[in-house]
Amino acid sequence: MIIGFGLFANFAIYQAFLTGIYNYRQRELLNMRRLPLVLKLGISSSMAGIMSYMLYQDGLYDENLYRIALKYRTEYDTDYNSQMEKIKVEERMF
């Protein structure tokens, strides 16, 4: 879904800001008709990439889900329990 969003955002940013439409603007900071296509695509791709990365980071770490996962980890995660037992045994040895 994030890749689809990135592709759509890239197309939308390019069409909305970088095509050099002069019907609605009197002045522009940068004359988009003079910029090469590769540079315009690079700008729109980097903007879409940053937005997609921010969406990915937001979905990756949700504070409430993380808190709940830590609360019930000892009850449901057998790998975690076995690792904790190994650590306790090693601590007793020293």
pLDDT tens digits for range 20-72: 665 555 555 566 777 788 888 888 888 899 988 988 887 777 788 888 988 99
Here the tokens at position 45 are: 């791709």
* Residues 91 and 56 occupy one common structural domain: no
Tokens 């980097």 -> residue: 46
The answer to whether residues 6 and 48 touch, using CB atoms and an 8 Å cutoff, is: yes
40 and 74 belong to one structural domain:
no
| Domain range enclosing 79 | 63-94
- Same domain membership, residue 57 and residue 35: yes
Q: Count up the domains in the chain and report the number.
A: 2
On whether the pTM is more than 0.85, the answer is no
Q: Which two tokens stand for residue 12?
A: 């939308």
